[in-house]
Amino acid sequence: MSRFITDFWLPCPPERAFAFFGDARNLNRVTPPWFRFEILTPQPIVMAAGTRIDYRLRWRFANLAWSSRVTLWTPAVHFVYEQARGPFAAFRHDHRFTPEAGGVRISDRIDFRLPLGGRLAARAVAADLRRIFSHRARRAARLLAAGGAQESEPAAPSRRPRTSASSSAIEEPT
């Protein structure tokens, strides 16, 4: 199993960040456009343990169908979803929201196993995850600084929202 870990800090309460990331409609808003991410499950999606979400996306040169199930839901603190159907042999994404320095530290841990395994493939996936999560941190900071509620793209802020430097790491397959 390989593990990708990343985190970033935002100047907002954990409850607000959790509400933003726990709203399935915001997945499209924080996912890079090159991913061509599309939620197929009818909206609104009521998030809770057991909720299933179907979507399609483009990863590199492949159009993929993906289905995930929320397996843990602790409002304002923690949620987890796992791949129910998709390209990985296993995929689990753990989101944590920790109060820190007047804001929130958003930590993500992704455990994944590729169907055919291999360190080279896991490193390629990790490189893509770094790009995706870097984009996600920038977009989330911008949207939450603008209020996060509007459906359209917010006007560019007069100054860049304050975030801490994101960190990320990948652990080799075991």
What is the tens place of the pLDDT at every residue in 111-128? 999 988 777 788 889 999
Average of per-residue pLDDT across 27-32: 94
Query: Is the sign of the CA dihedral 38, 25, 139, 17 positive or negative?
Result: negative
Taking the domains of the chain in order of start, what are their residue ranges?
Answer: 2-171
Q: What percent of the chain has pLDDT over 70?
A: 84
pTM of the model: 0.84
Is the preceding peptide bond at 44 cis, omega within 30 degrees of 0? yes
The predicted pLDDT at position 141 comes to: 95
Question: 2-171 — its CATH code?
Answer: 3.30.530.20
The residues, any chain, with a CB within 8 Å of residue 86's CB and separated by 6 or more, are: 64, 65, 66, 67, 68
Strand partners, 66: 55
* Average pLDDT value for the chain: 86
Residue pair 67/54 in contact by the 8 Å Cβ criterion: yes
Average of per-residue pLDDT across 33-41: 94
